[in-house]
Structure 1
């Protein structure tokens, strides 16, 4: 069924899995993302009223990810200029340089030819370095950032986070905001045109307050890293598991349209974000069911991307598939703000891999997946060349 009630999710939620139905819910304002406070309270229990918990809720609930309506449009308007496709083309050379430097390090390592972990050597560092560069923080992001991102992903990925997950996410958010508070205290060191410079200007002009400023900085760093690194890992795994597709893509090097379709298929085939949550603001009839006000809806993007009503032979990985857009970047008001950046990074990354490491194949060790139902993420991927 495309819309069904499940007690396995949060004690009861509507699971929406059809392509048309998920797309409808993503666009419909009656499905709200404003669920942060209730979500955090469920994990904090009796400590939800203490000062640290209140600060965490205040920061988290002011993130662009958990706002609707006028507040969401205002913050999106502040962030959007630095992430438009036309503006991002200026970053092409810088992203390409980062990709090639990472490959240089792999090729210079005498042990790497016998096998290396693609996730730790390439998929993790590339988007972390790229988003740091765009934000105006090259070389300044703390080494612990990847651990903080993992803790936030574990929390966001759980429909019912437990106390340990919530506390870990709280500490991660606190650490990120402390880092950004120190960084913003030295505005002269932020390059003009960087995302953080733009946010600081918007704050000075009164377009966002201090809490919103810190929350968007943390959101940008986390969101700019997590989805892209999952796409790189999942995409390479799909290519190497389908050698004919990998060979076909290498044969089409230089054809931008072919690479763009291939990345689109990677996103559809193994979506980095498997599902997202919404609350019902009103009763909504959908696919013969009535979803009631206040109920939780799980919008299963991964399943929608495999809806046979929308995609022919949806389980097949086909880099030449041209059947319209997947839902991995969402739709409607909350469509992924960094979609163009993720697409650009993936195109640059796979071009560099084809040029420099064309003989990449899977290693003997099986891929290891992270235990997170919301994020389709590899913990390790053994490859050799």
Structure 2
């Protein structure tokens, strides 16, 4: 059933899994993303009093672009959008190529890597963090701790019911991020004048955004851009290497990279589902969803809807059956979709050229615990 009630999920929720039904919900303004406070509270424990850190954590998250609807969402998105226009991304392409080549060179020059290396830690994790830092125009591409901070926030966001440990780790990561950005933004001369950080700082000076909104968007850009792209790189390469005929076909015809990346996103979506709260009663596929209820929009299952994609469980880089839902639709369609697509195309192209004999190692892939993100923790490779 494309729409069904589950009492086991998040204390009770509508699971929407059909392609058309998920696409409809993503576009329907009655499905609201403003759910941060109730969701964050679930990890604090019933008897835990709000501390200053917890209150600040809620405040920052609730002002993130990810959890705002309506005018507030449109205002913040309008400030950020110019940084993701084609002309801006075209300027970033050579930077991504240089970062990619540097990571590949480190692997290629490491004699022990020929016997096996972990793709996630050596490539999939560092590249997106470095790219986002470059997009934002941060000095020296940001601190090394960026990856850990982003990972802690993504783990928290990806959990349907974050426990106290996950929540506290995310709080500490958010505090560290806010402290870092607050310090860096005090001296804008060390920032790239064309980066998103300067754009946000100018918006604050013009009173278009508040200090809290400024810090919230900086933090959001980091972990949202990092997590989606790193999972695409890991999941996509695993799919290619598990289907060596597809890997060989792509090597023979690298001009098919754009379509191949789209199929990677459809086949094993980096974001498996997203949540919404009903602002009003909605009838969907014969079911009545009532105001205040939680809806889980299962993007991963929608991308495998046999009504939309023929033989949907088959990985086929030549597939041409329309767009997946991995970047969403409607007002909350992923702001960095074009950047993620471009980054993956550059990365996979460089990997094919540098390591034509790349193959899976003897150790099986290690997955992170199931949640909103489909994420590899380790992927052993040889070349």
TM-score with structure 1 setting the length: 0.97
| Per-residue CA distance 1:41-95 (angstroms, 9 max, x = gap) | 2222333533221111110000000000000000000111011233201111111
Q: Is 1:55 the counterpart of 2:56 in the alignment?
A: yes
Aligned counterpart, 2:246: 245
* CA drift at 1:372: 3.4
The alignment's TM-score, normalised by the length of structure 2, stands at: 0.98
Q: Distance in 2 between matches of 1:50 and 1:380?
A: 36
- Report how far residue 142 of structure 1 moved: 2.3
Helix, strand or coil for the counterpart of 1:132?
helix
SS of 1:15 mapped into structure 2: strand
Q: Decide whether aligned partners of structure 1 residues 140 and 182 sit closer, same or farther in structure 2, where only a CA change above 3 A counts.
A: farther
Greater shift in the superposed pair: 207-216 or 128-137 = 128-137
Structure 1 residue aligned with 2:162: 161
In 2, are the aligned partners of 1:41 and 1:48 still within 8 Å (CA)?
no
- Tell me the residue number matched to 1:3: 3
Aligned equivalent of 1:89: 90
Q: Give secondary structure in 2 for the equivalent of 1:49.
A: coil
**In the alignment, which residue of structure 1 is the partner of 2:26?**
26
Instruction: Name the counterpart of 1:291.
Output: 289
Unaligned runs of 5+ in 1: none
Please say if 1:354 is aligned against 2:352: yes
Q: Tell me, in whole angstroms, the C-alpha distance in 2 between the residues paired with 1:75 and 1:221.
A: 16
- The 1:372/1:169 distance shift into structure 2, 3 A limit, reads farther
Tell me the distance in 2 between the aligned counterparts of 1:42 and 1:120: 31
8 A Cα contact 1:85 1:341, kept in partner: no
2:178 and 2:324 mapped to 1: Cα distance?
33
In the alignment, structure 1 residue 16 sits paired with structure 2 residue 12: no
Mapped partners of 1:37, 1:373: distance in 2: 19
Alignment of 1:1-385 (within 5 A): 1-44=1-44, 45-253=46-254, 255=255, 258-385=256-383
Q: Does structure 2 conserve the Cα–Cα contact (< 8 Å) formed by 1:99 and 1:352?
A: yes
Q: Please report how far the alpha carbon of residue 148 of structure 1 lies from its aligned counterpart in structure 2 after TM superposition.
A: 1.6
1:151 deviates by 1.5
Displacement of 1:140? 4.8
Measure how far apart 1:356 and its partner are. 0.9
Q: CA deviation at 1:144?
A: 2.1
C-alpha contact (below 8 Å) 1:47/1:53 kept by paired residues: no
Provide the C-alpha distance between the structure 2 equivalents of 1:184 and 1:140, rounded to a whole number of angstroms.
Answer: 14
CA distance in 2, matches of 1:217, 1:69: 20
* Secondary structure, counterpart of 1:93 in structure 2: helix
CA distance in 1, matches of 2:107, 2:282: 53
Deviations 1:319-378 (A, max 9, x none): 000111000000000000000000000000011011111110110110000113210010
Give the match's secondary structure for 1:139: helix
In structure 2, the residue corresponding to 1:346 is in which secondary structure?
helix
How many angstroms apart in 2 are the aligned matches of 1:181 and 1:53?
Answer: 18
Contact 2:272 2:298 in 1 (8 A): yes
- Unpaired runs of at least 5, structure 2: none
